[in-house]
Structure formats: structure tokens, C-alpha cells
Amino acid sequence: MRKLPNAGPVAAEPTIELQRKVMIAATVGTVIEWYDFFMYISVASAISVNFFSGDNPVWANVFALLTFGTGYLVRPFGALVFGRIGDMIGRKQTFLTTILMMGFSTVAVGLVPSYASIGLWAPSILILLRMIQGLALGGEYGGAATYIAEHAPQGRRGWLTSWLQTSAPIGFVLSMLSVYLMRASMTPEAFNDWGWRILFISSVLPLAISVWIRLKLQESPLFLKMKNEGTLSKSPIYDTLRVLPNLKRVLIAMFAMVVPQSVLLVGAQIYSLVFLTGTAKVDPQIASLLVGAALMLTLPVMIFFGWLSDRYGTKIFILAACVIGTFTYLPLYKALTFYANPALYTAQAVVPVTVAADASECSFQFNPVGTAKFATGCDIAKNALIRFGAPYSTRSEAKGAVATVFVGARAIPVATTGQAPDVAAFTGKLQHALEEAGYPSRADPSAMNFAMIILVLAALSTVAGMIFGPLASAMTDLFPPQVRYTSVSFSYHVGNGYFGGLLPAIAAALQISSGDIYAGLYYVMVVSAISFFLGLFWLQSVPAAAKVESVATVAA
């Protein structure tokens, strides 16, 4: 049995000026990291044109799998790698390294020659750079959260760390806004050819500013005290994942804090954008501006709940968010459809659509990588209907029957008996039938209630903000300082990557399987409900301000 020694109290409380300086430096740097990471997503269409060739489907599948692995596997690995370094060498040096890695890899993306110039080397280099970005992002959040928390006195930890929580939404909004302005300033052809590269290369300027700010910071006083007293962990990864008391803390942080935050936040900010553009048929640029406006409107809410957590603890807000999210996300998304595309909302209610098909041809279309093929008549019909925003019921037919969509009384077969489906022809006929029945091909901006759309989106983000605002404070307070960087980083990125990150793919599969355009929200609701009961029994009610971080020990 061994223990990580007591770190002891920090000798002097940091001044208010130093606390503010630390908070600003850590938050600005993390905003830039998220901005760089989201930029890739924001210009994905231009990158696919320049780096991936449709002439070689085998290699296209390989690179799609590698991209998937970058998003869901590399970030937790980066959390362990940089968490270990941060707990052994220091917080400041580690998250200074992560921002340099993120910045240089982002600039490099803008300089990589296209597929037409260097062939398969282009996507290979791109994937490598994305892996470096994922590694860097995996180590950034835990380091920034730990650094701020270890400078924050009792009664201010929730308030100070809540500013860090605004970094991801701000980075997301800035990336969308930058792409919007760049696209608006040139033709689509120019943007796809060279305009997108400017966005990546120009990120060197905010990178330089952030590095300059962080270079002026000093190491965490608590870390220096542990280092001087010889109480640092000699094996942070082992002490995080193999030592039972801390492993229990990791599981509590992951499933009672991060997982509900992840599904609620992705449901409010990222999936809402997918829903508006895909299901509600809102113009992508309009949808991006609406989501961005709602995000900026709710940033103060995150800070407010962080401030409240210093007085009342985090448990009450986590449980409240889980309950509210479970019962409000479905009606809020229905309201989103009503205000964004009232014609579509009306058509969904009055025009019955039925898919009649051989049940054995209907797959559960879970496709997170984007490489699976669903080519049966039933799958083609269901996929098309969901893309058109049309809910449907399914009727089982005899084995081998040709899949047919009924829009009211009108029948549209997917194929002619004995022939392979002509997807383009079927899709055109289906779209025409739906439009005649009242399903619009796109949302009419003149009929949209922009104020109410922003209000609904803000309500969704407010629910998520109840957890997200005080999350960094709650997580850093849960773990002993010797393994805090590693534990926070790993819990955060595994919980976010594997639960919130898979939400769009799970939602699409549930929509297509059930015929209900809102079925993806059941995943959010079920996860939130389960997390409520986990939090009810696992989380402590003591406010973060009432705890002293020097008393934590980990037995092995």
C-alpha cells in the first residue's frame, strides 16, 4: 500500500491581479486551440476537394477511418501523454507545448500541397497534422483547467474556471464567423482553391499573441510546492487508472459530470446546426449565424453558473440540467422546426408518409465513419425521407417486394421490379411528390422567426451551461493535485469523444430506423436520465469552495 503524500497548503494566496492574469492567459490560449481545431470542420468541403480523390475508393475509406480515429482516439491518448508530463514536469510548460503544437500544425495544414500536386502524400500529411492537433487538444483543456484552479482561492474557483469553459463555444463561433466572412469576400471557386488556406496560415498571429502571454506566466504554486517537497507522482497514468480510489473518481467525473455535459452541449450547439441545415432545410450560412448568436448570448450563463457553484456546489446544477434536458429537449426541437420552417412543420403534421418494404432490407444505419453503403430499396427510401425532413411510418411487405414510398395516396417505387434502384431518379420523383404535398425544399427566410429561433437555441445552451459552466471547477476539485492534470484530461476527453462526439451518427441512425426526425433526441434524453441517477448517488453536495485540495490522497 502506498500513498501519494499530502501536498500541504500553499503558502500564500495569489493576488486578485494574478488570478485574473492566469485566467485570461489560459482562456485565450484555449480559445485559439479550439478555433484551430474547429476550423478544419468549418472548411471540410474545401479540404475534401483539395486532399481526397474520388478515383480511389479504397484509399478514401482508409483516410476516412484515420480521420475518425483522430477525432475519437487521439484526443484521449493526448490527454494521457500530456497529463503525465504535466503532473511530472509542470503545468505551464506542458500547456505551452500543446498550444505550440496546435498552432504550428494548423498553419502547416494551410501549406500542404493538394492531391493533384503530390498524390497520396497530401492526405497522408493532412491526417498526420490532424493527429498532432488531436494530441495537443487532448492535453490543453486539463492543463488550463488545472492551472487556473490551482491559482484560485476558496470561493472563487468556480467563477474563475467558468471563463475557461467559454473557450470552446467562442472558438467554434470564431471559426464559423471567419469562414463566413472569407466565403462572402470571394467566389466559391476561389475559396475552394486558395481562400481556405488563408484562414489556416493567418492563425499564426493569434498563436504568437497567446504564446507571448503564456511565456509571462509562472508555474502553479501548488505544483512547485509538491516538487520542492518531493511529493509528485512518479507514475501519474498508473495512479490515475490503476489505483482504485482515483479510478472511482475518474468514473464519477466521466459518467456523472462529463457525459451529461457532453450530450447536452453537443445537442445544443453542434447537433442543432446539423438539424437546422439538414432536417429544417435552413440555409447553412443563416443557420451558422443563428447558432453563433445564441452561443454568444448564453456565454454569461456559463459564467453565472460557475459563480453559483462557489456558493451551492455543482451537484444541484448537474442534477437540474439532467432533469430539464430530459424533459425539454424534445419540445424545444419541435419549436425549433416550427419557427425555422413553419411550412415543413405543418406538412409533417398533416401529410402521412409510409415506407412499404421487405423488412429484411431495412438496416439500422449507424455510420459514424461515413464509409458504409446502404443500397437496398428500403434503406434508400428511408435515407432520402430523413434528408427531406419527412417523418414516416414503416409497413412490412412480402419478401422481395419493391420498396415503395407513399406520400398520402401517391406511390413512388424505389425501383422497377427486377431492376436495380436508380437512386437519382427515385430521389427526384420523391422530392417532387413531397413538394406537391407541402414539404418545402428549403426554408423560406421571410417566414422564419429569427428572434424565436435564437431564443430556443439559447434555451438549449442554457441547460447545457448549467453543467458546463462549473465543470472545470468540479473536476479539478475532485482529483488530488499529484494526478490532477492526467485525471481531468482523460475523463474530459473520453467522456466527450465517445458520448457527445457520436451523437450525430447515433441520431441519424435512430431517425432513419424509426422514421421520427426527432428520434436522435431520445439518446440525449436517456443519457441525461441515467446520468441524473448516477449523480444523485455519486456526487457530493459540498460546494467546491468548502474543500481543501491538500487533503486528497490516493492509495495504491
Q: Which position has the higher pLDDT, 272 or 509?
A: 272
**Which pLDDT does position 549 carry in this prediction?**
41
407: phi then psi, degrees, rounded to nearest 5: -100, 100
213 pLDDT band, cuts 50/70/90, is: confident
**Which pLDDT does position 278 carry in this prediction?**
84
Q: Cβ contacts of residue 368 below 8 Å, gap of 6+?
A: 68, 502, 505
Whether the predicted pLDDT of 546 surpasses 50: no
How many Å apart are CA 457 and CA 279, to the nearest integer? 16
From-to residues of CATH 3.40.30 in the chain: 347-436
71 pLDDT band, cuts 50/70/90, is: low
How many Å apart are CA 268 and CA 295, to the nearest integer? 9
86 pLDDT band, cuts 50/70/90, is: very high
CB 434 within 8 A of CB 407: yes
Whether the predicted pLDDT of 316 surpasses 90: yes
**Which pLDDT does position 4 carry in this prediction?**
56
Residue 234 DSSP SS3: coil
Q: Which position has the higher pLDDT, 121 or 371?
A: 121
**Which pLDDT does position 63 carry in this prediction?**
65
Lowest mean pLDDT: which of 64-68, 306-310, 358-362, 538-542?
Answer: 64-68
Whether the predicted pLDDT of 69 surpasses 70: no
CATH topology of domain 347-436: Glutaredoxin (3.40.30)
Phi-psi region of 97 (alpha: psi -120 to 50; beta: other; left: phi over 0): alpha
**Which pLDDT does position 17 carry in this prediction?**
84
**Which pLDDT does position 10 carry in this prediction?**
47
- 316 by Cβ neighbours in 10 Å (0-12 / 13-18 / 19+) ranks as middle
Over range 159-175, report the average pLDDT.
91
Here the cell at position 403 is 420498396
**Which pLDDT does position 67 carry in this prediction?**
66
**Which pLDDT does position 514 carry in this prediction?**
86
DSSP tag of 13: P
Q: Which position has the higher pLDDT, 549 or 316?
A: 316
% the chain with pLDDT above 70: 90
Q: Determine the CATH number of domain 16-339+448-544.
A: 1.20.1250.20
**Which pLDDT does position 375 carry in this prediction?**
84
37 pLDDT band, cuts 50/70/90, is: confident
Whether the predicted pLDDT of 354 surpasses 70: yes
543 pLDDT band, cuts 50/70/90, is: very low
13 pLDDT band, cuts 50/70/90, is: low
How many Å apart are CA 254 and CA 240, to the nearest integer? 13
Over range 213-237, report the average pLDDT.
90
Summary mean pLDDT of the chain: 86
From-to residues of CATH 1.20.1250.20 in the chain: 16-339+448-544
Lowest mean pLDDT: which of 154-163, 359-368, 538-547?
Answer: 538-547
165 pLDDT band, cuts 50/70/90, is: very high
DSSP tag of 412: E
450 pLDDT band, cuts 50/70/90, is: very high
How many Å apart are CA 82 and CA 85, to the nearest integer? 5
Over range 406-410, report the average pLDDT.
91
How many Å apart are CA 75 and CA 504, to the nearest integer? 19
